[in-house]
Amino acid sequence: MSESALFPMVRTSHGSVRGTRWGDTGGIFAGIPFAAAPIGPRRLRPPAPVAAWTGVRDSIAFPAAPAQRSPLMDPSTQGSLAALDPRALAIAMALGAHTGPSAEDCLYLNLWTPELVSRRPVLVWIYGGGFETGSASPPAFDGAALSRLTGAVVVAVNYRVGALGWLFPTGPGSERFADSANLGLQDQAAGLRWVRDNIAAFGGDPDNVTVAGNSAGAFSIGALLSLPAAAGSFHKAILHSGSTGRVYRREAASAVTRDLLAAVGVRDFEGLTDVPLDRILDAQSAVIPSDIGLRHLPDGHGWGIVHDGRVLPDHPHQAVLAGAAKNIPLLIGANDDEARMYASFGADSFRPTDEAALIAEMRRAELDDPHGLLDAYRARGLPATDHLGGPTDELLELRTRFLSDAIYRVPSARLARAQTAAGGRVHTYLISAEPFGPGSSAFHGAELIYLGDKLTALDIDTPGNQAISEELTTAWSQFLATGEPGWPAFDSAQPESTRLIGGAVTFVTEPAHDIAGYWIHDT
């Protein structure tokens, strides 16, 4: 076979790239730069245009992940996945736990195309990882499976994480960094613009681009819907386990910045530009709590999107309600038992000290009647045993149900209502399938097992799981191609309009009937 057949070449707007042949007609192009390296004087600065090159650039090796620590894989960390049994570690890998190298020079994307000469739907993947970890490269993300299952050209974009991607400029001298809020979001927008300008050369349809992601990636997409820098760069969006509901106010983000500066030992924001990378990574792990509630609930303490008023002028939810995304069809999904994974890994640290502590946490979610909501959760009954076969801990179970709703399911429903109120179209679904059998739950990230073709690797390739994988990937494929996943659009006037995948009924109401009245029903 000729070298040109083994290593296909494509001309981009910045220069030619040489990839690796994939199948008979496709190619994999790894490590294509879409912005200048954010190192040296460009640290904590918005993504800058990449310099053009002459000749042909090899794009055959996947790039390192953005600079990060991986606390889940550190044996010294409480609750480390490295200390868990082999199956738990395999699950973590299947869900994208990062274990490879990372680097500050990270603004590259990877591309998988089934055909170089075609006009296929395009899926741009934004990875999750709590805004602190994640990667566009295998093993954290391998777009080959998603491309094979959906038939789309798949592009995965690296974006800066942790302090380097989400630190809010505040304090003395921060005015010189006024455009440096939400750097991770700006990286994502730069990647989307690259796709808009170049994807036709790789067999993708530049007029049919869908941005998709889960968890932090989906929350990012919630902001991309109204981000000026991303306007016109995509046409549809898929948000799984994310919404427009996780956005920090300036005051909360400023508190994180002050803590980070103190931990690093510098006086002002600009002082971070010369600090060794390891000091920043060590400090960012120390100043952010590991607890999901302390991070995610309103005015939490964590990394993520900030309504800064400049880079992100409007709050994403209010922007959607005002019509910012009414011409962008949305597919919004969630899992039935989102917080179960955090309860399992957090062990005793996840359990509230008492019911009063849980009630206090629930008030942060702006609930009208937290006591009534707890009673409604109790009325559902408690499982006889926990996931390890021991006696069920009532407080842990109640907090798991509350956080699943407060962080993921209810905000997703609110986004659906806001989109329809603005005249836009949205389809919603809820996964109740339990990939590891009854009692294993539909936990946060479970959808990646199906979308990433992980059934065989995890030894759960059962007929039931195969059916769920087929249903979910077919819905995504149809949405990528047409904007219709195969069931009617969400209708706020029709209670049961969320498709249930893996349950005994076809459609359900979100939030569920028994708890809907306890949440504030603003749009």
Spatial distance between the Cα atoms of 27 and 60, rounded to a whole number of angstroms: 10
| Cβ atoms of 188 and 307 closer than 8 Å | no
* C-alpha closest to that of 240 among 485, 512, 508: 485
List Cβ neighbours of 375 (8 Å cut-off, separation of 6 or more): none
Spatial distance between the Cα atoms of 515 and 280, rounded to a whole number of angstroms: 42
Can you tell me which residue has the tokens 């971070």?
272
| Cβ atoms of 439 and 383 closer than 8 Å | yes
| Cβ atoms of 475 and 506 closer than 8 Å | no
Q: Which of 70, 180, 215, 344 is catalytic?
A: 215
Instruction: Tell me the residue length of the chain.
Output: 523
- Alpha helix stretches (DSSP H) within 2-157: 3-6, 86-94, 143-150
Can you tell me which residue has the tokens 């009647």?
369
Outline where DSSP puts E strands in 262-385.
330-335
Spatial distance between the Cα atoms of 372 and 393, rounded to a whole number of angstroms: 20
Spatial distance between the Cα atoms of 293 and 140, rounded to a whole number of angstroms: 25
432 among known catalytic residues: no
| Cβ atoms of 117 and 138 closer than 8 Å | no
Catalytic residues: 215
